[in-house]
Amino acid sequence: MDFWANSGGWASGEVASLLDKSMLHWQTSLAESLSRWLNMDSDGDLILAWINLGALVEGQLKLFLCVYYDDYTNDAKGICRRGQKIDPDSSQLEELRQFFQKHIWDVGVNWTPYVELVQQRRNAVHAFQRRDIGTVNEWIDALRLHLSFVRDIGGRLPYPDEEFPGLRETQIEPERFPNTLPRVGSAQRSATR
């Protein structure tokens, strides 16, 4: 996030401007907050943990589209609301999930099931209606998977040098999540990197 928050001079003017106004330092702060949920002891804590994770998922998807903003704006199939294309930073998680499912996750790992799980669990914040919030162990499993999610998204972003090589090493444990992360065209995946 530090790199993209200060990408002026490397990213195009419009992309740098969009990233400058984004609250990327909040993403860092939210990531640092994750550890507080490892010792949760109430349903309220579990709901807040899912909200924390959901905000990070949404932030990663927005970051991706902001970095590729020039491509996004030239794509006729962008995220639309009321018939108008909207900027990535104005989109909601459901809109992002649908866009990525249709246009991005056709190569590599299909993250739709993971994003849907986090989205459904974080929506328990609307607590007047019964919603499945899962268990602490399910949240911890999702948190472990989040590292692979971040690495996959980060590995698809361009960098001017090799300062961030760890982001290009996606480490997904498919045997732990056999029904969660279908792979699509692994031969195509290397071509997109």
Q: Give strand ranges (E) for the chain.
A: 80-81, 84-85, 108-109, 183-184
SS3 content of the chain, % helix, strand, coil (to 5): 60, 5, 35
What are the tokens at 23?
């609250």
Torsion sign across C-alpha atoms 28, 177, 135, 54: positive
Q: Which single residue is written with the structure tokens 């090493």?
A: 169
16 in Cβ contact with 6 (< 8 Å): no
DSSP state of 29: H
Given this model, what pLDDT does residue 140 score?
A: 94
Residue type at position 182: P
Residue 11 forms beta bridges with which residues? Answer: 8
pLDDT, averaged in runs of 10, over the chain (193 residues):
60 63 75 91 94 94 87 83 86 93 83 95 82 92 93 82 53 45 36 32
42-98 pLDDT per residue, tens: 999 999 999 999 999 999 999 888 888 888 888 778 888 888 888 888 889 999 999
